[in-house]
Amino acid sequence: MKLEETIRILYDADVEFVVIGGAAMGLQGSAYLTKDIDFCYARTPANIERLANALQPFHPVLRGAPADLPFRLTPRRSRRD
């Protein structure tokens, strides 16, 4: 998925976020390119719920976890109290 598509999905879901890292540098005209997208999001319960709902169709997985580990992204799992 392209950077623009990812931003559009989050934007259309009213997720409050900012793009950071190499992708942000590229958006500012840097020649430094990365193949991932890093972003920070507002950690309010409503925003976390919008984020989880926006990402659900893409079947997110836990990085570094076994491939057969069952996982479902939910607002509760996305939040640390």
Q: What are the structure tokens assigned to 19, written together?
A: 């793009």
Owner of token pair 């996982």? 71
Which pTM value belongs to this model? 0.73
Q: Is the pLDDT of residue 73 over 60?
A: yes
80 versus 58: the higher-pLDDT residue is 58
Dihedral over Cα of 65, 43, 16, 75: its sign: positive
Q: Minimal CA–CA distance to 37: which of 9, 71, 56?
A: 9
Tens digits of residue pLDDT in 12-25: 999 999 988 776 67
